């Protein structure tokens, strides 16, 4: 079950704020008129103490930066299971919490960005996807109006192919060891490059090949672990209103209770490109 922390924080801020305001402008005057030495009720004391803290956390999380944990290996080798990252909530415009409506234009995703978004859900079989609304992280490959072609993990945008160069064999640790032996490639986009993984032994035709035209107001997203990523090749485009923010930095790597599965201090402070 997805926990909506933004909704929880918003409701708590409203609840404590309303108690504080109601007491300040209505009940406090009545209480002091009856007894000048009267103290605040316990609920009011808690509201006064908690509201500023909750409001500050909500504001920072909604408009500045929000923490996320990487739950899968779809962005390997650049993001690993157990990476805790900070997502810039300002880069793509200021949005209201919960409803995610943009109120201030700042910028838009550009090709090559690693971004977090709310999974739009698969439309297969006409069923509602229970995972819709879950936070996903992928790389921006296609912008509105682009024609994207993918053939055996090789991408072309508007007829121009990306560049590819083999960069070695991946050796993972801990929970990432399952991808050991995969090929590392450097994928060169116009003005930017990054690494990606490709598994040996995946039969031709088992990869998601095809051509897509990105609608206005949408993005085409792909994972860097190309043979282990459910992305726009499978479930379609990312609507602009689903965008949450731009991935910035890894601030911790830890998986399992008390970091029993993995802890990699060298990843702390790694910039996400």
In this structure, how many other beta carbons lie within 10 angstroms of the beta carbon of residue 202? 15
Residue with token string 């109601």:
22
The active-site residue out of 138, 229, 232, 262 is: 138
Count of positions (residues) in the chain: 273
Instruction: Identify whether the C-beta of residue 121 lies closer than 8 Å to the C-beta of residue 132.
Output: yes
Closest CA to 208 of 146, 141, 128: 141
Asked if omega into 182 is within 30° of 0 (cis), the reply is: no
Closest CA to 117 of 147, 92, 142: 92
The residues that bridge with 188 in the sheet, in sequence order, are 163, 193
The active-site residue out of 74, 91, 182, 229 is: 74
Q: Where are the alpha helices (DSSP H) in the chain?
A: 5-22, 28-34, 42-63, 232-235
User: Quick check: is 173 catalytic?
Assistant: no
Q: Which two tokens stand for residue 264?
A: 């990699």
Instruction: Identify whether the C-beta of residue 169 lies closer than 8 Å to the C-beta of residue 181.
Output: yes
Instruction: Identify whether the C-beta of residue 140 lies closer than 8 Å to the C-beta of residue 115.
Output: yes
DSSP classification of residue 126:
G
Strands (E), 143-215: 147-151, 154-157, 160-161, 163-169, 183-189, 192-198, 210-213
User: Quick check: is 193 catalytic?
Assistant: no
Q: Which residues are catalytic?
A: 74, 138
């Amino acid at each position: 079950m997805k926990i909506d922390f933004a909704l929880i924080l918003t409701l708590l801020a409203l609840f404590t704020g309303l108690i504080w305001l109601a007491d300040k402008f209505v009940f406090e005057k009545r209480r002091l008129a009856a007894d000048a030495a009267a103290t605040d009720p316990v609920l009011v004391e808690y509201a006064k103490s908690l509201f500023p803290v909750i409001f500050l956390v909500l504001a920072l999380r909604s408009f500045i930066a929000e923490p996320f944990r990487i739950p899968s290996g779809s962005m390997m080798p650049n993001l690993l299971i157990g990476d805790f990252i900070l997502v810039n909530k300002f880069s793509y415009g200021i949005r209201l919490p919960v409803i995610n409506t943009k109120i201030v234009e700042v910028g838009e995703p550009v090709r090559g960005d690693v971004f977090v978004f709310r999974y739009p859900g698969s439309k297969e079989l006409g069923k509602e996807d229970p995972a819709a609304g879950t936070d996903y992280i992928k790389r921006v490959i296609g912008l509105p109006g682009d024609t994207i072609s993918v053939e055996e993990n090789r991408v072309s945008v508007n007829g121009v192919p990306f560049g590819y160069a083999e960069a070695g064999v991946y050796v993972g640790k801990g929970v990432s060891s399952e991808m050991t032996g995969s090929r590392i490639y450097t994928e060169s986009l116009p003005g930017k490059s990054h690494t990606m993984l490709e598994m040996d032994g995946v039969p031709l035709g088992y990869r998601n090949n095809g051509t897509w035209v990105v609608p206005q107001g949408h993005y085409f997203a792909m994972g860097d672990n190309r043979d282990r990523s459910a992305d726009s090749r499978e479930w379609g485009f990312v609507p602009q209103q689903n965008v949450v923010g731009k991935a910035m930095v890894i601030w911790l790597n830890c998986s399992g209770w008390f970091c029993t599965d993995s802890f990699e201090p060298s990843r702390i402070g790694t910039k996400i490109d």
